[in-house]
Amino acid sequence: MEHLVAARAQMGTSLAFHIVFAALGVGLPLLVFIAEGLWLRTGERAYYDLARTWSKGMAILFAVGAVSGTILSFELGLLWPVFMRYAGGIIGIPFSLEGFAFFIEAIFIGIYLYGWNRLSPRAHWLAAVPVIVSGAFSAGFITLANAWMQMPTGFRIVDGRIVDVRPFVAMFALPWKTEVAHTTLAAYVFTGFCAAGVAAFAQLRGDRRPVVIAAQRTAMIVAAIAIPLQIVVGDVVARFDATYEPAKFAAMEVLATTQRHAPIALGGIPTAGGGIAHAIEIPGALSLLVAFDPNAEVRGLDQVAPGDRPPVAITHLSFDAMVGSGSTLLLIALLWAFAARRRAGSSRGLLIAIALGAPLALVALEAGWFVTEFGRQPWIARGLLRTADAVTTATQLDLRFFGFSLIYVVLAAMSWWLLVRVGRSGAEH
């Protein structure tokens, strides 16, 4: 395997696994908090059992996420030493703050788990709040570092050396608001639809116990609130990219030339000549999306040097997968909300749709991350350092890739086995 390809494959595989653990680690504490709150309000035993079961899953995912995140931190130094030499002193603050958030989350997860029957019900319920907040902040601080990689700032370069570093300016690089909002909502969308999908699948198999019905209802409340917010934020992100990251935006939309009345291409396969085949084009829609003006000019790939262009095919296909799956999730949420108002939330057709929402949410999560990462290429820090120039000179990266991939497969399998056992043990109560 080519040296650079092996390094990128190892990092990409690690991130693809870790983002699942991280997203569930951010979203599941909120579900636990809501479930216990509903128990306190209604007194229904099903919500109490649900909160206890989900809290065990929360602990498992926190532990596995810590392991996968630690591996990633080592990989940054092992695979990309040149990048860390450039960026370590610039984006060190968000990584340090993420460590503080991590330890706060660990402390309060311990208090929450140990506090069953030891704290008052209300105090125990409120102990989940720091877990929710610190988990979201932990993911947010890492996202700040990624935002800097998209648009590096907070320093000057003199004679090839980075000087006058302003860490707090670097920490809040221009894309930070849109990236943090988009990433955080993605965690709640993913967790909500995953938990609801598991409960719906159980109902399809004939399990109609109150705790299963409560799980589907609670998770769908979160999913149905988060997905329309995510669609709105995604629209803001698209306009931001068109203005500040035009190369990424042009690759997402396969816009070869700068033009007015630019069309949106729905679906399609990018061609070697820079166009797109088999797509449904809506004239003027892209200009309308970017500037609320169907005649507005949208910058294309022709304004980017060929060597600086992102890989168009994978960026566009990932973008289409994200938008398509996200739109389908919105439709599922609307159907559920409509059925819930009519007290028909357990019809077989709807349960099938909710069960399918879990893999669709995974596709949306991974595809969105692919768009962010592939859309930045060929830069590891846009305009500052190319990915090819940042990679390690160490040998046998292909063997490391297979070794680390095996570790993540084992982590994923172990997590699945533990979560299944937790679910079954919760079902016995």
| pLDDT tens-digit map of 301-318 | 888 888 888 888 888 889
**What are the helix and strand counts (H, E) for the chain?**
15, 8
Sign of CA dihedral 416, 79, 304, 156: positive
User: Any residues with CB less than 8 A from the CB of 58 and at least 6 apart, and which?
Assistant: 25, 28, 29, 32, 109, 131
Counting as low any pLDDT under 70, the low residues of the chain are 1, 160, 272-274, 343-346, 394-395, 423-429
Question: What does the pLDDT read at residue 1?
Answer: 55
Residue 113 φ/ψ, nearest 5 degrees: -70, -40
Distances (CA, A) of 174 to 205, 232, 233, 241, 333: 48, 19, 16, 11, 32
**190 in Cβ contact with 361 (< 8 Å):** yes
Mean pLDDT, the chain, as a whole number? 84
Separation CA 346–CA 215 (nearest Å): 12
Separation CA 12–CA 4 (nearest Å): 12
> Cα angle at 177 between 329 and 76, to 5 degrees?
90
Residue indicated by tokens 């969105």: 368
Question: What does the pLDDT read at residue 385?
Answer: 83
- pTM here? 0.89
Residue 185 Cα to chain centre, angstroms? 8
Separation CA 268–CA 276 (nearest Å): 6
pLDDT digits (tens, 9 = 90+) for 165-175: 788 888 888 88
